[in-house]
Chain A
């Protein structure tokens, strides 16, 4: 079973920041927080991952709380193409597969 909890759905206005929360209260010290997204009829796409520090790349920012029990994925300027299901996954880097939960269905509205 997935070890993360995400809201089933969220809406966001185009051009605004989308903040997607994830709870992972039982995270282990060696587990990274990964975010993937899946646009309809495509395979999941890697977005970002982190251990305990905040991370940023060209797609998004990942904010992890100090106790590491929750995190937030931030899409700074959401576009219609960001409409997708977003998955928050915990994974230790070696020898472990990804366990996908139901994710959050983000709808970016014009």
Chain B
């Protein structure tokens, strides 16, 4: 079966712009989590959605937001981009909130110039 699909794979944006990243979970998976990965901070949790509701949130500023649709697809948005937002953004899906064995996508690499 298809894995977790993230689009786009690569993105270049300018400081001050906003960006929307998309994640399509594995069919039947209802929980979607987002992580940011940078060389300096490693993998950091952004937020988790289940049944269209944000269930858990990491320590990121309000510029980072997300949502989940009724088909479990999720988007995350970053407004007023900063150079430090350059990172690999990873999405993971699972059957339910807190279920074991999250499956990660290949990520979206965002570069802010």
Contact = CB atoms under 8 A, between A and B. Distances in A.
Interface stretch (A8-16, A65-73, A75-83, A89-97): A89-97
A43 B35 CA distance: 10
Interface string A36-59: 000001111110010000000000
A98 B56 CA distance: 11
Interface of B: 4, 33, 35, 42-45, 48, 55-56, 58, 90, 92, 97-107
B101 A46 contact: yes
Contacts of A102: 42
By secondary structure, the B interface counts as strand
Given A42-B106, A44-B43, A97 B99 contact: no
Contact residue range for chain A? Answer: 20 to 34
Given A93-B100, A100-B42, A100-B43, A44 B55 contact: no
